């Protein structure tokens, strides 16, 4: 998934705990255990999870299930006999798929009124709870542009200019959540019909499309620690606004400034949600865990573990995270219902333009 490497670094430093505890659909319900199903990037500090377990009386079991898209699809297929009680990680690009397939049951967690209004959706039924937000953006390799005495691009339009030919790598919108987010960002920028013309020009300017974030960022992108090891040669890559702080926080020794930057005018705002699974065996424990996910303690724990921003108003963000990975001031956004109405068609059109 998009943050897997950053989370792995945190695990290596002993900052977070990840449990891949399996759970079969036929397993007897354990009223003392609450099972979370999520994508691979779930992470939380051991002390924060321990505090929830002590306070609530529930032991937390985590079942990680691959990329967000894969995890959502599997959860839909198993909704009648779910693998767990709570699902975390469906984002605004895939939300309609989960809701239309009846993945979640209604529950409004405590402190829901503390969530910033712009992130609240499904207010009539309360089937999902906003948990975090972040920006999908083009990242650039500062060293490359300094060495070539070339200013980095500043916008979507700049990416079409001749001086940036063959410099950008992005993920496949059909297989990757950041790739899909970047596609939606261009659709929001250029409109329902204009984005196709943009992608034709971007293809002509040498954009490279790979399957997922791991390959794009850690193999093709010259600015990341992984890309340097892999001798990546693309100084522009679709990633996250939170990628630069990760490059600083987990570097050894730490650089004084981030080696990568963000093209702010290319950002698309992503929001991740959690919900109580339909037919969950431990609904009481699941509700307690959803309360926990928007508690101040968990919300303030997220930035340095999952490299995302809290959605709870007045939740503090660590200074080093905010310094190196500020949120975009004016990101592209799109209403979930518009995404739902157009996503599949747009992905098919995009595939014919950018991949074939």
Who's near 195: CB < 8 A, 6+ residues apart?
Answer: 183, 186, 187, 189, 346
Lowest mean pLDDT among 16-30, 34-48, 302-316: 16-30
Q: Do the domains 135-269+329-354 and 4-133+270-323 match in fold?
A: yes
Quote the percentage of the chain above a pLDDT of 70: 92
Share of the chain above pLDDT 90, in %: 77
CA distance 221 to 238: 9
Considering the domain 4-133+270-323 in this protein, what is its CATH number?
A: 3.40.190.10
Residue 3: per-residue pLDDT: 54
pLDDT for res 215: 94
Kindly calculate the radius of gyration of the chain based on its CA atoms and give it in whole angstroms: 20
The pLDDT value recorded for residue 14 is: 36
Position 40 scores a pLDDT of 85
Q: The domain 135-269+329-354 belongs to what CATH superfamily?
A: Periplasmic binding protein-like II (3.40.190.10)
Report residue 319 as tokens.
Answer: 């200074």
Average pLDDT, the chain: 90
Reported as a single tens digit per residue, the pLDDT across 4-35 is: 445 444 433 334 444 444 433 333 456 899 99
> 247 with 222: CB under 8 angstroms?
no
Assess contact for 154 and 265: CB atoms under 8 A.
Answer: yes
What is the tens place of the pLDDT at every residue in 86-132? Answer: 999 999 988 998 999 999 999 999 999 999 999 999 999 999 999 99
Report whether pLDDT(319) > 80: yes
Domain boundaries, the chain: 4-133+270-323, 135-269+329-354
HEC-encoded secondary structure of 165-203: CCCEEEECCCCCHHHHHHHHHHHHHHHHHHHHHHHHHHH
DSSP string, 225-264: HHHHHTT--BSEEEEETTHHHHHHHT-SSPPSS-SEEEEE
Decide if pLDDT at 209 tops 60.
yes
Mean pLDDT of 173-195: 94
Ranges of H-type helices in the chain: 4-12, 46-56, 68-77, 95-100, 142-147, 177-204, 213-215, 225-229, 243-249, 283-293, 296-301, 303-306, 319-324, 336-354
Contact 193, 349 (CB under 8 A): no
The answer to whether 266 and 207 are in contact (CB under 8 A) is: no
Cα dihedral 193→235→215→328 (10° resolution): -60
* 145 band by pLDDT with thresholds 50, 70 and 90: very high
Range from 64-78, 109-123, 135-149, 188-202 carrying the lowest mean pLDDT: 64-78
pLDDT tens digit sequence for 270-291: 999 999 999 999 999 999 999 9
Give buried/exposed letters for 11-38 (b at 16+ CB in 10 A, else e). eeeebbbbeeeebeeeeeeeeebbbbbb
pLDDT band at residue 70 under the 50/70/90 scheme: confident
């Amino acid at each position: 998934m998009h943050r897997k490497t950053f989370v792995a670094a945190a695990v290596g430093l002993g900052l977070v705990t990840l449990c891949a505890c399996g759970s079969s659909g036929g397993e007897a319900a354990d009223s003392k255990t609450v099972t979370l199903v999520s994508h691979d990037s779930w992470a939380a500090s051991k002390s924060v999870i321990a505090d929830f377990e002590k306070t609530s009386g529930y032991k937390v079991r985590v079942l990680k299930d691959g990329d967000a898209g894969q995890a959502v699809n599997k959860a839909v297929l198993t909704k009648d006999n779910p693998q767990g009680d709570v699902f975390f990680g469906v984002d605004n690009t895939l939300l309609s798929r989960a809701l239309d397939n009846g993945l979640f049951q209604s529950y409004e967690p405590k402190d829901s009124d503390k969530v910033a209004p712009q992130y609240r959706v499904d207010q009539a039924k309360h089937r999902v709870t906003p948990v975090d937000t972040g920006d999908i953006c083009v990242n650039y390799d500062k060293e490359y542009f300094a060495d070539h005495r070339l200013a980095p691009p500043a916008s979507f339009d700049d990416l079409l200019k001749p001086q940036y030919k063959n410099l950008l790598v992005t993920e496949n919108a059909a297989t990757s959540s950041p790739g899909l987010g970047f596609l939606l960002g261009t659709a929001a920028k250029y409109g329902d019909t204009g984005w196709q013309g943009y992608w034709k020009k971007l293809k002509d300017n040498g954009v490279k499309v790979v399957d997922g974030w791991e390959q794009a960022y850690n193999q093709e992108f010259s600015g990341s620690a992984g890309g340097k090891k892999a001798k990546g040669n693309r100084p522009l890559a679709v990633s996250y606004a939170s990628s630069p702080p990760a490059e600083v926080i987990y570097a050894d020794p730490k650089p004084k400034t981030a080696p990568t930057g963000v093209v702010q005018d290319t950002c698309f705002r992503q929001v991740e949600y959690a919900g109580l699974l339909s037919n969950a065996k431990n609904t009481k424990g699941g509700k307690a865990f959803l309360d926990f996910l928007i508690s101040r303690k968990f919300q303030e724990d997220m930035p340095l573990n999952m490299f995302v921003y809290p959605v709870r108003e007045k939740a503090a963000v660590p200074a080093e995270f905010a310094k190196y990975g500020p949120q975009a001031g004016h990101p592209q956004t799109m209403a979930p219902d518009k995404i739902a109405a157009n996503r599949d068609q747009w992905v098919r059109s995009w595939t014919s333009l950018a991949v074939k």
